[in-house]
Each structure stands twice: as structure tokens, then as C-alpha cells.
């Protein structure tokens, strides 16, 4: 997905920028970049982080960044930030975006005589496309609204201006968040972040959740200024709470770990399966497992531990084969706890199923007599169109779609897919049972869409659940 951080101060900003950006590292794995401005001078650096940590790449060059304002990005897609001159001024930009009509927008700009300088593989850099569209506006607000009008997908952004201020614009439907922070002791210091966990250790507190389509500017002199009011519709992604978000973070005032606990507690109360204890598939299954333990009244124990000193996240390597190897190597089962036990394991989701299948084999090899799996969200039936979650080359990479194809044949009708997405229907039950057998589980249960939305605590119409049920709008 990606995450960004921006800061303005009355003193040097580089330390806050460095650590604030680093606190978004769990959101992306491909590229990272920093940019600062000092008068009219922009300093910029971009690194590949597929096989390294953000801090290791940037720490040795922090002395090169000058100025009191800066933006940083952890990207799952393109190389950023971009810095460019335009008719509306010089600016740097970072984006968290999924642009589904990138080719069409590229062709449109090429026909207008635009040349592209930043590239991702064989295509134009999405952030450069966004910057070019902004530059067509009469001013920054007009240009940002042009982006909102033209792109299909989603886009949130930070713009670093040469006067030292930063403009933040949240996606038109708020699919990804932006949180504004105010320093608790340093007057004139403000920050913007995709993740609120970036604030507390740097001395900031949450001042405002930027609304869908809202545009604000932060500066040391004027603080947080609203340049455009938010829209009246929101489609924030449910997976921010289920998977992406770091436990102490919050979006729209709703804490990530509280949501995961609530999902687990509700499932635990309703589950009559006899088990000896509950464990988590770390890390994102921990919050749910703790809630499940409370709801069911069984102990929580660490039947699996994550080896955190060296292993990165499972999707970091560029090849699927290496991702699967890393996913296996980073998790270590505890045979002393598992041998002869009936255990429920909680996880955030099942995408391809390969990682969980390998985990289950290791668990059974360790001597567990029953392996029950409890998933905090519903089955993933539809690939994500909006923020790159389940960003598969083919919908057939989803285990649900492979099962449905085996049961229904190729290209099942939309109304048939809908039946698989509704918990409790005969087709839903048949799909879950098939997945259970493929993964060699004693039992398998998923939470419902209603449970997820109740646990988040926002109105149902404000939450995007497209990957579960095909609902949502553009």
C-alpha cells in the first residue's frame, strides 16, 4: 500500500522526518524516499528497500538534508518523492495511490507533449503522472481536484512547497488515511502521517483526521489550515484495521488493536469448538487471538513465534517463491506447547493459502492433534481495486476463486459469486469446507462482514468491503 510522513518546524526537521517516515515502514516494501526544502533548494534521496530496512539506507546521508520542512515515503510501488517546476510553482510530492487508468492518463499526457523522466518498469511513474496533472491546474487546489476527477482508483498525497509549507490531500473517498499532528511542546511544529503511531515518540499528538477529499496546509506560522472541506462520502478500507495498521494506530478515531480484539472476542463467544488454548499466526493475528481468548475463556499461548531479529515481512522479496520461503522461515513452532494439544490459531486473512498450508504442516509435525483456524475477516472473493491489497496478477491467485472455479467452472456468473460471499449460504459453506480440506485443518471459520464493521465502529456505508462482498463505489 505505502505510507508517508511530512513535517514542518521552526528548527531542523530531518530527525523528525527520518523517524516519522520509518514508523510507516510496515506499509510498504519496495522504495523509500525523503525530500526537504531550504529556501528554494530541495534535497532528495530515493532508495530500493526490497532487501534492506529504511533506516539502514538513509541514516548515513541524513546530514545532507537541510531545512525545516520535509516529506518522506515508504512505497509499495514507484520511486518517490518527485520534485518538479511547474507554472503553479516548484514542489515535491509523495503519493499513496492505486491508479487503475495509468496507461490512459500516460497516453493523454504524451499527446499533450509531456515527456516522462521517472519510470517504474516499463510504465510511467504514477507519482509523476499525478504531479503532471496537478501542474495543469490554475493553482494547487484546482490541480489536486483535477487528479481526483481524472484517476480511477485512489490517491492521497503530500506536496512540499518551496515556501516550506506542506499541502495534504486525502483520497476523494478517503480510502487511505491522513492524520495531522501537533507537537505538544514545540510551538510551530506540525506533522502529517499515514499512521498515527509515528507521532507519540516524536512528541506529537493527534490534532485532526483529514476527511475524504479534504485538503489542508501545515506551516509553522499558521498551523493547520483547511483549504477544502471534506466530501460527504467515505469508503475507508476495512483492511487498515484488519491487516495493514500497526496495533497502536487509529483511523477515524478507531484503534487498530481494539478492533482486532473485538473481532476475536465476538468469534470466541460464538465458537463451541473444544480446544486447549488459542494461539496467533504472528503478527497481525495476535490482537484477534487475545480477544478470542477472552471471548471463549481459554488461555492464550504462543504456539508459534516470529523470529523478528532478521526476517522481514513475507511479501518483501520480488519473487513469489522467495516470499513463500521467507514466510516459512520467519515463523517457528513451539513443539513443547503444541504436542498432544487441540489448538485454535487466529490470523488476519487467507489470500493464496500457501503460507498457512505450510504453517499447518509444521504445526502438525510438532504434534498438535487438532488444528483449528479462525480468520478475523470474511473470505476474500474479489481482488482489491482501490489500495493494492490482494494485488494479484490474476484473481485466480486467491484460494477462494480457485475453489469456486473447481466447483462452478470458469467465469461463474456475478450472482453466483455473491452467494459465495454471503456467510451461511450453501455455496459459502461448500467453499469453506473445500478450503479446510486443502489446508488440512480440523475446522475453519471466518468472521462475517457485519462483525468486521461492528468492530470498526463506523457506519457500514463508510467502510469499503469490496474484497469480501464486491460492495463499494468509486
Q: What is the DSSP string of 143-193?
A: HHHHHHHH-SEEEEEEEEETTS-EEEE--TT-SS--EEEEESSSTT-EEEE
Decide if pLDDT at 92 tops 80.
Answer: yes
At 120 the pLDDT is 53
Q: Residue 313, Cα to own-chain centre: how many angstroms?
A: 13
At 435 the pLDDT is 98
Report the C-alpha gap between 456 and 422 in whole angstroms.
19
Report the C-alpha gap between 343 and 284 in whole angstroms.
18
% of the chain residues with pLDDT over 90: 82
Decide if pLDDT at 323 tops 80.
Answer: no
Q: Are residues 226 and 176 in the same domain?
A: yes
Q: Are residues 230 and 269 in the same domain?
A: no
Residue 465's CATH number: 3.40.50.2020
At 417 the pLDDT is 95
Residue 147 domain-assigned (yes or no): yes
Backbone angles phi, psi at 38, to 5 degrees: -135, 100
Residue 123's CATH number: 3.60.20.10
Average pLDDT over residues 54-71: 94
Average pLDDT over residues 208-225: 98
Domain of 333, in residue numbers? 254-469
Average pLDDT over residues 215-240: 97
Decide if pLDDT at 437 tops 50.
Answer: yes
At 407 the pLDDT is 96
Cα distances from 453 to residues 127, 134, 304, 344, 350, in angstroms, run 32, 35, 28, 23, 19
Instruction: Name the pLDDT band for 109 (thresholds 50, 70, 90).
Output: confident
3-state secondary structure 36-99: EEECCEEEEEEEECCCCCHHHHHHHHHHHCCCCEEEEEEECCCCCCEEECCCCCCEEEEEEEEE
Residue 185 domain-assigned (yes or no): yes
Cell readout for 236 is 475507508
Q: Are residues 83 and 190 in the same domain?
A: yes
Q: Are residues 354 and 400 in the same domain?
A: yes
Cell readout for 79 is 520511486
At 392 the pLDDT is 56
What sign has the CA pseudo-torsion 133, 137, 143, 147?
negative
The DSSP 8-state label assigned to residue 211 in this structure reads P
Q: Are residues 274 and 224 in the same domain?
A: no
Write the pLDDT tens digit of every residue in 263-306. 999 999 999 999 999 999 998 899 999 999 999 999 999 999 98
- The count of domains in the chain is 2
Residue 71 domain-assigned (yes or no): yes
Decide if pLDDT at 391 tops 60.
Answer: no
At 388 the pLDDT is 74
Q: Name the pTM for this structure.
A: 0.93
Amino acid at each position: 500500500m505505502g505510507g508517508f510522513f511530512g513535517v514542518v518546524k521552526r528548527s531542523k526537521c530531518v530527525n523528525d522526518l527520518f523517524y516519522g517516515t520509518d514508523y510507516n515502514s510496515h506499509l510498504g516494501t519496495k522504495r523509500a524516499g525523503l525530500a526537504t526544502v531550504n529556501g528554494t533548494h530541495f534535497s532528495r534521496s530515493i532508495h530500493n528497500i526490497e532487501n534492506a530496512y529504511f533506516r539502514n539506507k538513509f541514516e548515513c546521508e541524513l546530514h545532507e538534508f537541510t531545512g525545516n520542512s520535509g516529506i518522506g515515503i515508504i512505497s509499495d510501488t514507484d520511486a518517490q518523492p518527485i520534485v518538479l517546476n511547474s507554472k503553479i510553482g516548484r514542489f515535491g510530492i509523495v503519493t499513496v495511490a492505486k491508479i487503475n487508468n495509468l496507461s490512459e492518463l500516460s497516453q493523454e499526457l504524451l499527446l499533450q507533449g509531456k515527456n516522462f523522466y521517472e519510470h517504474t518498469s516499463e510504465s510511467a511513474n504514477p507519482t509523476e503522472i499525478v504531479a503532471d496533472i496537478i501542474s495543469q491546474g490554475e493553482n494547487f487546489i484546482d490541480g489536486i481536484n483535477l487528479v481526483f476527477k481524472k484517476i480511477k482508483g485512489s490517491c492521497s498525497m503530500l506536496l512540499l512547497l518551496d515556501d516550506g509549507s506542506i499541502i495534504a490531500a486525502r483520497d476523494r473517498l478517503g480510502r487511505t488515511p491522513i492524520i495531522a499532528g501537533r507537537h505538544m511542546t514545540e510551538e510551530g511544529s506540525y506533522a502529517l502521517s499515514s499512521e498515527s503511531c509515528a507521532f507519540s515518540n516524536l512528541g506529537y499528538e493527534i490534532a485532526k483526521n483529514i476527511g475524504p477529499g479534504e485538503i489542508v496546509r501545515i506551516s509553522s506560522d499558521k498551523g493547520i489550515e483547511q483549504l477544502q472541506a471534506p466530501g460527504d462520502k467515505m469508503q475507508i478500507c476495512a483492511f487498515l484495521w484488519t491487516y495493514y495498521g500497526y496495533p497502536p494506530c487509529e483511523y477515524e478515531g478507531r484503534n487498530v488493536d481494539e478492533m482486532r480484539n473485538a473481532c476475536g472476542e465476538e468469534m470466541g463467544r460464538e465458537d463451541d469448538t473444544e480446544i486447549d488454548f488459542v494461539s496467533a499466526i504472528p503478527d497481525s493475528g495476535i490482537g484477534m487471538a487475545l480477544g478470542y481468548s477472552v471471548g471463549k475463556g481459554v488461555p492464550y499461548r504462543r504456539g508459534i513465534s516470529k523470529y523478528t531479529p532478521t526476517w522481514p515481512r513475507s511479501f518483501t522479496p520480488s519473487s513469489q517463491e522467495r516470499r513463500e520461503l521467507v514466510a516459512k522461515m520467519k515463523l517457528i513452532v513451539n513443539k513443547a506447547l503444541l504436542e498432544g494439544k487441540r489448538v485454535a490459531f487466529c490470523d488476519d486473512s487467507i489470500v493464496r493459502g500457501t503460507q498457512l498450508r505450510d504453517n499447518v504442516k509444521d504445526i502438525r509435525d510438532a504434534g498438535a492433534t487438532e488444528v483449528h483456524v479462525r480468520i478475523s475477516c470474511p473470505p476474500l472473493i474479489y481482488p482489491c481495486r482501490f489500495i493494492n491489497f490482494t494485488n494479484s496478477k490474476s484473481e485466480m491467485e486467491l484460494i477462494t476463486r480457485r475453489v469456486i472455479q473447481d466447483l462452478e467452472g470458469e467465469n461463474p456468473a456475478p450472482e453466483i459469486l455473491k452467494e459465495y460471499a454471503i456467510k451461511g449460504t450453501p455455496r459459502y459453506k461448500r467453499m469453506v469446507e473445500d478450503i479446510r480440506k486443502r489446508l488440512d485443518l480440523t475446522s475453519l471459520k471466518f468472521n462475517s462482514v457485519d462483525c468486521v464493521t461492528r468492530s470498526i465502529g463506523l457506519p457500514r456505508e463508510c467502510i469499503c468491503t469490496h474484497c469480501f462482498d464486491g460492495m463499494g463505489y468509486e
